[in-house]
Amino acid sequence: SDLLTEGWMLLWRDKRLRCLSASSFCFSVVQSCLSAFAVVMLVKDLNFNPIHAGLMLMLVQLAGICGRLFLGWFADATGRSVRALGLSGVIAGLCCLVMPFMEAGWPLTVMCLLFAAFGAAIFSWNGVFHAQLARLAPEGKVSIAIGGIMIWIYGGVLAGPALFAATYGHVGHYTTVFGLLALVAFAGWACTLPARVIDAK
């Protein structure tokens, strides 16, 4: 049992790692919900052809690849890795806020830009986050810290779609539930704020 709890406790004892861990949970919730429900939202709420909806999800994932590369470059170039993580949360939250206002008659170009921005933001945080985790972990404890953070990340992966589906059962519109996800994305951004001291070093 010590092996199971050591990583968790390692992260919890350091305020910076504790805050970043909480942000990883929030970002995982939003990321997993976008992956799981983007296609069904486009089909059910916005009358997309299923093939076109699948292509939109592909655009989200491709934008995520580009976003991850850009965020890594930005973090290296500016030395502000934690602010970069927070920026991902803010952009994802803003994209979520737009979702309830989408209608089937919106221009396809506008929808593509929105989903590309959403994907680039919420799929980009993981690499920079793990780099910071490795940087802040005590010497010789990087693998233990990585193991501990998986509890937070996969907790978000498991909880996100389940909570999304439960909320949809009460709300009845996928776009509305995505709007509520803005609260989670902004919470992830807020959790990065106490850890910004890292950027000053």
Residue 183, CA distances (Å) to 41, 43, 180 in order = 19, 24, 6
Residue 173, CA distances (Å) to 136, 162, 188 in order = 41, 15, 24
Question: Residue 40 is which amino acid?
Answer: V
How big is the CA angle at 41 (ends 40 and 42), to the nearest 5 degrees?
A: 90
Measure the CA–CA gap between 178 and 197, rounded to whole angstroms: 31
Q: Are 119 and 34 in contact (CB under 8 A)?
A: yes
CB atoms within 10 A of CB 141: 15
Label each residue of 42-68 as H, E or C: HHHHHCCCHHHHHHHHHHHHHHHHHHH
Helix (H) or strand (E) holding 10: helix 2-13
pLDDT in tens, the chain (201 residues): 455 577 778 878 888 888 889 999 999 999 999 999 999 999 999 999 999 999 999 999 999 999 999 999 998 888 888 888 999 999 999 999 999 999 999 999 999 999 999 999 999 999 899 888 888 888 888 888 888 888 899 999 999 999 999 999 999 999 999 999 999 999 999 999 887 766 655
| This prediction's pTM | 0.91
Largest CA distance in the chain: 56
The distance in angstroms from the start CA to the end CA of the chain is 35
Helix, coil or strand: residue 140: coil
Helix, coil or strand: residue 187: helix
- 130 burial via Cβ count (<10 Å: 0-12, 13-18, 19+): middle
